[in-house]
Structure 1
Amino acid sequence: MKKQNLVVVGGGSTYTIGMIMSLVAEKEQFPLRTITFYDTNADRQEKIAKATEIILREKYPELEGFYYTTDKEEALTNADFVFVQIRTGGLAMREKDEQIPLRHEAVGQETCGPGGMAYGLRSIGDMIDLVNDIRHYSPDAWILNYTNPAAIVAEALRREFPDDQKLLNICDMPAAIMVSYAGILGKDVFDLVPEYFGLNHFGWFTKILDKDGKDHTDTIKRAITEDGFIPEDAEIANDPSWIKTFKQVEQMVTDFPEYLPNTYLQYYLYPSQMVEKEDENNTRARQVINGREKRVHTLADQIIADNSTENVELEVDIHGRYMIRVAASMAYNNGDIFIVMVENNGTIANLPDDAMVEVPSLITNRGPKPLAVGHISTFYKGLIEGQLAYEKLVVDAYYENSYEKALQALTLNRTVVDAPRARKILDDMIDANKEYWPKLHANKKAVTV
């Protein structure tokens, strides 16, 4: 089994140590020769990298090399796989993404609604540049992109790199939900076979089978409505915000019992409730800054101070394991089934061919082979078409520098709907994102009626 050279772009991420522990846990399935971290923020990366060096020394001694750098040529040359997890603007801009809509009584969330548009318009340019850089230094590398908002980024990359067969956009949220399904059933998450359709952060499980073909969907629905639903993945299990999010699934399954929803649908189905629950002064971004970021940096400091992992608790999470299992199936042509983003091309029969849909696919060394979904019914088709139009309009706004397209996108989005509100949010976001967004032309101020 060939050993791979892996590059992690965004080495300073708070998710990186969990990714490293996942690589340790999965090293028999995805053996590595080298790991290289690449980040544009040297200080942020250095702490995570120094802790990682100690983890790998203890838990992955057979690794031939570990490196970290801010030099893209050094990082990206001769890569076999590149895992991408960047955040343009950092958590400081995420906090603004969430606060601005809340000031106008709209959902303030990282990837959904106005926050997703703001984050997407910041991410597109950096992602295009990064893919071009990777293709320059490692033309044949597999690129697995985790960067959010994945739906908007995937649409932009589809337009920019239409013939790149080794570029895959993925999200771990379906897998994180399935970890809780596995807990209900007393099974390992990778023993479950999902049937699923939708867009990223906007989809539904139609069935949950096991590898013997037994259907457990009704058991899961019953457990959710009768016993409740909790997050079980290590990264989110004790997070109060995620606990509330998983609890909202009970309401969604009660109101719309046909399918099992992605948790992010709460923002689109219950936007008023979501606004009422949020606090502009304690957004999810602020909770991450005061929670996971501090926790991970404290853990890294402890490892570095001790020159050992003896006094810390390190956990494997689905964020890393999912990415690695997908990569392994590509590297070794395993043909495993995972939920990933692909160009539709008839997979969901009554959606446009050029939609970037999220569906189960066979993962091979020739790329993902999506499994046919067929026709979807009116309710789901209507919701998806509205969300898809929003995503395409955001990307149109980027390429055309169009204020009008951005306004149309926000007005169409179910978390906003109201055109005057959309204009006010957009104008505030333009002011906040001057350093990051393309200049949107025809900037007309809100009209008070």
Structure 2
Amino acid sequence: MKQKFSVVIAGGGSTYTPEIILMLLDNLDKLPLRCIKLYDNDEDRQNKLAKACEIIVKEKDPDIEFVATTDPQTAYTDVDFCLAHIRVGQLPMREMDEKISLKHGVVGQETCGPGGIAYGMRSIAGVLENIDYMEKYSPNCWMLNYSNPAAIVAEATRRLRPNSRVINICDMPIGLENSYAQILGFKDRKEMDIRYFGLNHFGWYTSIKDKDGNELLPKLIEHQLKYGNCPENEAEGNYTDDSWMETARKVKDLVRLDPTTTPNSYLQYYLYGDDMVAHSDPNYTRANQVMDGREKRVFGECARIAEVGTAKDTTLEIGIHASFIVDLATALAFNTHERMLLIVENNGAIENFPDDAMVEIPCIVGKDSYEPLSIGKIPTFQKGLMEQQVAVEKLVVDAWIEHSYLKLWQALTLSKTVPSANVAKALLDDLIEANKGYWPELK
């Protein structure tokens, strides 16, 4: 009989929590569970989801213990995996990040540019706090950390908790690979063997092969030059709203810059920042869309489930993007040697790139460990972009550790999304004012 595991979802009040639970429950054959816990420091927000999540768990498997708590000792005692997706400052602070950036004519996005830097300065303390709770109460637990902005958080954990059992991951490549599978005619992204290198939200696919070893990247690029990441018939795409559809279309322009690779679509914010700003509404940003759309929809459905007492006929769906969490936990628990994209210290995997950079590359995951695959040397164009972005991420962590105004000004100045040191300083001063109580006091 397989061992059964206990998991805690840190950031239990996230609207993604119900679909992560649905994904876990749909994969009990792969990863058997004895306990699911929700942990959040915002009790009111977590309570909007907790009763519905408890009903979902009990209807699927009444033997699984369910706990929702704001007490770290209760949350982290006797757990095998922590699934961490915390958002310090929640969506109202994301809205501030986006709108302050756009006010200065700069990309307003939650993980890229000034918004990502501001969010990173908020996130570091929260992630470290959860690592410390985990190590205090369950020292053998693994934290699968997908708290954004993942690149800055990964650099902080590398430097400040170097021996912790933390694996930094991101779900964005899963969404991209689902699109590629649809374009190339596969039923499942796992029918493809991929090669990829880069940083989080900042990378390139260099090979996509079928299981017979046939290289399909040229076919994909030919399609992308015409349609981006959309299918030929856009109505057949799996995009949840117009902004994701626009992102899929924009890949056409990204591929033209290097038609030998296929890019992570987040590169649009760095390479076509002027287009992104021109198509953004400074008064109604992505944060507003999420608050008015996804947040109301998920909280409303959870309230309905709690009221009627059953999750039968629920509109909540399994989060396909969450499948990588189950795959990673299963690989660590049962030595499956799953090949996955992880954010790890480079240590020579990319030959012509700094060893201490946190890069996103394929790794083989087995019992209690992972092994990065060798990438070799990367081209000048990608290397130059990555070196600039890694420097930004390192300066942000420097600024957080040293409480340094200068280092954060340098980080903003160096970001490819910011046009000058003057704009960077004006941005910084506005962001400091907005983030009082969240950032260390800079000097």
Give the TM-score, by structure 2 length. 0.96
> Which residue matches 1:176?
175
- What residue is the counterpart of 2:166 in the other structure? 167
Say if 2:21 is the partner of 1:45.
no
How many angstroms does 1:236 deviate by? 7.0
Is the contact made by 1:192 and 1:211 (CA closer than 8 Å) also made in structure 2?
A: yes
1:66 aligned partner: 66
Residue equivalent to 1:102: 102
> Paired residue for 2:250?
248
Structure 2 gap segments, 5+ residues each = none
- Alpha-carbon distance in structure 2 between the residues aligned to 1:120 and 1:105: 21
What SS class does the counterpart of residue 115 from structure 1 fall into?
helix
Paired residues of 2:84 and 2:143 also in contact (CA < 8 A): yes
C-alpha deviation, 1:240, in angstroms:
1.4
Q: How far is the alpha carbon of 1:169 from its aligned partner?
A: 0.4
Tell me which residue corresponds to 1:217: 217
Distance across 2 between alignment mates of 1:212 and 1:23: 31
Distance 1:187 1:239 in 2: 23
Shift of 1:237: 2.1
> 2:429 aligned to 424, 427, 430, which one?
427
User: Map of 1:194-233 to 2, 5 A cutoff?
Assistant: 194-230=194-230
Name the residue aligned to 1:390.
392
Q: Is the 8 A contact 2:40 2:70 kept in 1?
A: yes
For structure 1, the 5+ residue unaligned runs are 442-449
Alignment RMSD (CA, Å) = 1.6
Distance in 2 (alpha carbons) for counterparts of 1:71 and 1:177:
37
Which one-letter code corresponds to 1:262 in the other structure? N
User: 1:347·1:374 contact (CA, 8 Å) conserved in 2?
Assistant: yes
Contact persistence 1:410–1:417 (CA under 8 A): no
Query: For the structure 1 residues 156 and 389, does the alpha-carbon distance in structure 2 shift closer, same or farther, using more than 3 Å as the test?
Result: same
Q: Deviations over 1:37-85 (max 9, x none)?
A: 1111111111211111111222234x43111111110110011000001
Matched with 1:128 is: 128
Is the Cα–Cα contact under 8 Å of residues 57 and 64 in structure 2 kept in the other structure?
no
Q: Work out whether residues 20 and 320 of structure 1, in 8 Å CA contact, stay in contact via their aligned partners in 2.
A: no
Paired position in structure 2 for 1:302: 304
Letter in 1 for 2:26: A
- Name segments (4+ residues, structure 1) moved above 4 Å: none
Conserved? CA contact 2:227–2:249, under 8 Å: no
1:308 Cα deviation from its structure 2 partner? 1.6
Distance 1:335 1:77 in 2: 28
Q: Secondary structure at the match of 2:359?
A: strand
2: CA distance, partners of 1:386 / 1:297: 40
- State the shift of 1:21 in Å: 1.2
How far is 1:309 from its partner? 2.2
Q: Would you say the 8 A contact 1:172–1:318 is kept in 2? A: no
Q: Note the alpha carbon deviations across 1:292-314, whole angstroms, 9 max, x for none.
A: 10111111122122212233223
Q: Residue type of the partner of 2:429?
A: D
Is the Cα–Cα contact under 8 Å of residues 55 and 310 in structure 2 kept in the other structure? yes
- Cα distance in 1 for partners of 2:260, 2:299 equals 43
Residue equivalent to 1:149: 149
Report how many residues are paired. Answer: 438
Deviations 1:157-186 (A, max 9, x none): 00011122x210000001110011111223
Q: How far apart are the structure 2 equivalents of 1:380 and 1:84?
A: 30
CA distance in 1 between partners of 2:228 and 2:354 (Å):
36
Mapping for residues 298-377 of structure 1, pairs under 5 Å? 298-377=300-379
Instruction: Give the letter aligned to residue 212 of structure 1.
Output: D
Alpha-carbon separation, structure 2, partners of 1:417 and 1:128: 32
Q: Which amino acid aligns with 2:321?
A: H
C-alpha contact (below 8 Å) 2:208/2:215 kept by paired residues: yes
3-state DSSP class of the match of 1:338?
Answer: strand
Distance, in Å, in 2 between the alignment partners of 1:314 and 1:190 is 24
Question: 8 Å contact 2:228–2:250 — kept in the other structure?
Answer: no
Q: Which residue of 2 aligns with 1:445?
A: none
- How far the C-alpha of 1:365 sits from its partner, in A, is 1.6
Which residue number corresponds to residue 270 of structure 2?
Answer: 268
Deviations for 1:107-154, whole angstroms, at most 9, x for unmatched residues?
A: 111000100110000011111111111100000001100100000000
The question of whether the paired residues in 2 share the 8 Å contact of 1:235 and 1:317 is answered with no
2:35 aligns with: 34
SS at match of 1:147: coil
Q: 1:397-408, aligned counterparts within 5 Å?
A: 397-408=399-410
